[in-house]
Structure formats: C-alpha cells, structure tokens
Amino acid sequence: MDKDKGKDTSKDKDKDTDKDKDKDKDKDKDKEGRLAPSGRSSIRNPAPQQELELKLGQEQEQEQEMEREQEMEQEQELGQEQELAREPQLEQELELKLGQELEQELEQELELVLVRHGHTQWNKERRYLGSTDLPLLPEARQQLSALSDQPALGGEFWRVYCSDLLRCRETLVAVAPHLERQANYDSRLRELDFGAWEGCNYDQLKDNGHYRSWIDHPELVTPPEGEAWEEFEARVDDFWAQLVQEFELRSMDDGMPCLEASKPRVVPPAVVPPAEVSPVPISTVAVPPVPILSSGVPLAPDSPPNPPPPRVLIVTHGGIIRLLLARLTEGVTFYTAAAPAPGEVTVLNLLKDEGAWRMMPREV
C-alpha cells in the first residue's frame, strides 16, 4: 500500500505539472490575443508613416523655395535701389568721358597772327602814344601795303580782331583789305592809357619822381589820369578768355568753326609807349617773333591729310602783343617779351595742353 501511495503521489505531481503547463499556454494565448486581435496580423503596415514623412519633406522644400524667392526679390530690389542711386554718378562719368573724347577729337590748335600798327607822327618823334587817336603816316601806309603779299596774311581767318583806334584800322586796311568787312573792332585791344603823359617824351619826364616810380614798378604805380596796370591786364585777359571760349564751343562743320562774331565791348582807352621809348626794360634774352611760314608740317606720303588749324588775326598795339606773348609763352613775362616794331607781323602756333594754351614750335 505504501508503494501505491508513492506512485499516486508522483502521478499527482505529473498532473499538476501538466496543469501548470496548460495554464502557461493559456496565458500565452491570452497575451497573443491582446497583442494581436483576432483576424489581424501582428506586423504593422509602414505605408502611412512613409507618406507622412514624404509630406513633411515636401512642405519643407516648399518653405525653403519660398524663402529663396523672397531673398532673390530682396536682392533685386536692393540692386535696383543701388542702380538708381548710381544713375547720377554714371551720368556724370558718361558726360565726362564724352567730353574727354570730344576734346580729343577736336583739333586743339590755333594759329594766332599778330600785327602791330604802322608808324604815326608820335612814334616818329618818340612820344608816348596811348589813347590819343592819331592816323598813320602816309609813308607808313605804303610800307604796310607791301606786307599784304605775305603768306601769313593770306587765306581765310576764323576771326579778325582790330583795335578800334584809327592807326590800327588803317593798318588792317593796308595789310589785308579783303578782311576789313570781317573785322571786329574791339576797344579792349587798345594800348595802355598814359593819361597826363600822353604826347610826352622821355626827356620831358625823366626828372619826374612819379614817372621814375612808374618806370620801376608799372604794376604798382599809375600815370596821372591814366589807366592802372591791373585794369590793362584785366581787359586783355577778358578779351582772350572770350576768344578761347568761342573757339572751344565752335561748330566743326567743314572742319572750321563757324560761330557768329560777338559784339565788341566798350572799355576805357589804354596805350603802351612805342618800342623805341618803352619805359619797361627789355631783356636781351627776349623771345623773338615766331618765323612766318606759309604751310604746316609736311606729311609723309601715306599720311592722311590734316586740316590746318583755325586762324585768328589781331591788329593791335605793341603793349597788347607783349602781354599776349607773356600769357602764351612759357617762361616769358611782359618785361622780357620782345617788343614788335611798328608794322611787324608775328605768328604764334598755339596748342592746348592740360587746359592751357601755349605756343609750340613750328616744324618745317
């Protein structure tokens, strides 16, 4: 009986073990049932998550594209504002460039022909002759007529200027009668006005202290009732500035300027003494008159022809010519400039260099 009881006990244990296994199986089934409901797979479908990620990526790309477009619009607006701000500067640069090109295209050369009037009675007697309106001597007219054949006085002139005093007008008629109707008679081309010393000679004035001071410092001392030196220089400079302005604004039709002559201005009279009795010492290194030539620089056989520079004729007085020489010749002053003789012709070939007109040597 004890053996059977032991057997029964082991059988009961086996049964209990089987029951426990069955329970564990039931728990596993319940767990699987909870994790995977009836009729559904235990593996989830990945498609909705991919769609969501794709949609989010597309939205981010759209936002980035919009940001790029906004940045481009802002850059375009900024560029337009900068361009508008630069427009005045660009216009100025363009005008400056065009002006420089035009200046280079224009022939910035000018031939100046200066003629001092012929002898008068006071010139012959070595008297100071300024504003006094004397005629030429008869023999002076004949001598001047012989100059009319000079090449420098032939051909065409863009401008013809003449002092309005009689001795200069008669000189123009004698040397270039064909230019009389073209002439502009300008009182700014008169000599220095000697005032109370008009008609006097050196011997009559040499003991006068005022006169001696004027000889030493004509730019500081003025003759009694005469013209101050600064006034004399101012009117001559005014004349030259107007001439240059008209030349630089000229029309280039047919390669020659064609502006209408301006009306001469009326200024106080003025005069400088004849060369023989000039109170201003003349240096021995004075610049001589430029040789008169009938033609320009010879061209090489294959060189294109260049039109001659415009020409200006000025019939005036010795003091005016000396002042123009001082203004247009490097290193020359009124005191060192050569005083032309009555009836002498001087030719200046001028070139504009860095905004200033200067005499240049003429090649032959």
Q: Which residues contact 286 (CB under 8 A, 6 or more apart)?
A: 332, 336, 337, 338, 339
Give the distance between the most distant pair of CA atoms in the chain. Answer: 192
First to last CA, the chain: 164
Question: Which residue's entry shows tokens 């010879």?
Answer: 298
* 117: nearest Cα among 156, 175, 198: 175
DSSP string, 305-320: P-PPPPEEEEEE-HHH
Residue 359, judged by CB atoms within 10 A of its CB (0-12, 13-18, 19+), counts as buried
Sign of CA dihedral 244, 245, 247, 248: positive
Using CA atoms, how far apart are residues 324 and 362, in angstroms rounded to an integer? Answer: 18
Cα torsion 118, 247, 158, 359: sign: positive
Judge whether 115 and 143 are in contact, CB under 8 Å. Answer: no
Residue ranges of alpha helices (H) inside 106-153 are: 121-124, 138-145
Do the strands 159-163 and 183-186 form a parallel or antiparallel pair, or are they unpaired?
A: parallel
The residues, any chain, with a CB within 8 Å of residue 216's CB and separated by 6 or more, are: none
- How many whole angstroms separate alpha carbon 235 and alpha carbon 227? 11
Helix and strand counts by DSSP (H, E) for the chain: 9, 6
Annotated catalytic residues are 117, 191
